[in-house]
């Protein structure tokens, strides 16, 4: 059924030119998805590697300050195109875009899945304030789609909020790092397992680090993080 749906004529959600199956048109997909995937990116933080580090796996900062997760993958840059898609999905509540964004995320993570094979995708839990504001959990919907594309289960109860915390949108890098300390608690079911975390946008990586820390504290062997966009 998915193959048949992908052939149905549609319009690109970004430029309104001809597309198929609700996906991006060829030009937008190349500009906003493929160009990022073809660049030399740090495996640990997802930022661009300097030209001198292009053959390395990690940037200098991540070598000095190792992350708690093994890899971070983002499908899009949070630039003009990526930001527009994420905002249409999250703030304008165009939930149908979860299918498009989740499919791009699944494509982006394929190379990493050759090395790390999580037993489940776990969405970053949304706070009550965010649920009231958005009306849904963006990460949860993305996890459902990614699970279908990767044939990996998704679990809603393996990661939960220990505290609501303050909204991070206007916090500085240091304030974000402090805000997420001990904010998450993981279920004992993650013990001795590789876990994949799903988020919508990665900004400083502090939430990714905090979720990975909670999962590893509960016994997870490795954690990879997959997000829709990298700010």
pLDDT for the residue 178: 54
Residue 215: C-alpha distances to residues 33, 160, 207 (Å): 29, 10, 12
Q: Residue 175: which pLDDT band, with cuts at 50, 70 and 90?
A: low
pLDDT tens for each residue of 73-113: 999 999 999 999 999 999 999 999 999 999 999 999 999 99
Whether pLDDT at 163 is above 80: no
List alpha helices for 39-171, DSSP H.
60-64, 80-90, 97-113, 128-134, 138-150
Q: What's the confidence (pLDDT) of residue 169?
A: 59
- What's the rounded mean pLDDT across residues 114-134? 92
Question: Do residues 69 and 225 touch, judged by C-beta distance below 8 A?
Answer: yes
**Rounded-to-integer distance, Cα 10 and Cα 12, Å:** 7
Give the DSSP H/E element, type plus range, for residue 216. Answer: helix 206-217
Question: What's the half-sphere exposure (Cβ side, CA atoms, 13 Å) at 11?
Answer: 5
For position 55, what pLDDT does the model report?
62
Tokens, residue 73 = 């993958």
The reply to whether CATH 3.30.70.890 applies to domain 69-230 is no
Instruction: Examine the pLDDT at 166 and tell me if it is beyond 60.
Output: no
The full set of domain ranges for the chain reads 69-230
**What is the predicted pLDDT for the residue at 149?**
97
- pLDDT for the residue 3: 55
- Measured distance CA(74)–CA(29) in Å, rounded: 14
Instruction: Tell me if 196 sits within 8 A of 226, measured CB to CB.
Output: yes
- Give the model confidence (pLDDT) of 9-44 as tens digits: 999 999 999 999 999 999 999 999 999 999 999 988
Give pLDDT tens digits for 193-218. Answer: 999 999 999 998 999 999 999 999 99
Q: Which among 32, 179, 13 is positioned nearest to 98, based on CA atoms?
A: 13
pLDDT value, residue 173 = 53
């Amino acid at each position: 059924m998915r193959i048949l749906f992908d052939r149905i004529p549609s319009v690109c959600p970004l430029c309104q030119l001809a597309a198929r199956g609700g996906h991006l048109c060829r030009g937008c997909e190349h500009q906003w998805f493929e160009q990022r995937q073809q660049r030399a990116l740090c495996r640990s933080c997802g930022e661009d590697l300097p030209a001198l580090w292009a053959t390395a796996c990690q940037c200098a900062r991540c070598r000095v300050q190792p992350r708690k997760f093994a890899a971070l993958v983002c499908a899009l840059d949070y630039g003009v195109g990526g930001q527009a898609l994420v905002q249409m999905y999250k703030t304008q509540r165009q939930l149908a875009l979860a299918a498009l964004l989740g499919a791009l995320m699944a494509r982006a993570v394929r190379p990493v899945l050759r090395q790390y094979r999580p037993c489940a995708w776990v969405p970053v839990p949304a706070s009550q304030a965010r649920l009231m504001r958005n009306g849904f959990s963006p990460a949860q919907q993305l996890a459902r789609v990614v699970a279908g594309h990767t044939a990996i289960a998704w679990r809603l109860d393996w990661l939960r909020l220990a505290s609501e915390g303050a909204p991070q949108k206007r916090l500085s890098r240091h304030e974000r790092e402090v805000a997420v300390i001990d904010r998450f608690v993981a279920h004992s079911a993650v013990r001795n397992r590789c876990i994949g975390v799903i988020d919508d946008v990665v900004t400083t990586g502090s939430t990714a680090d905090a979720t990975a820390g909670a999962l590893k504290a509960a016994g997870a062997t490795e954690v990879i993080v997959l997000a829709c966009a990298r700010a």
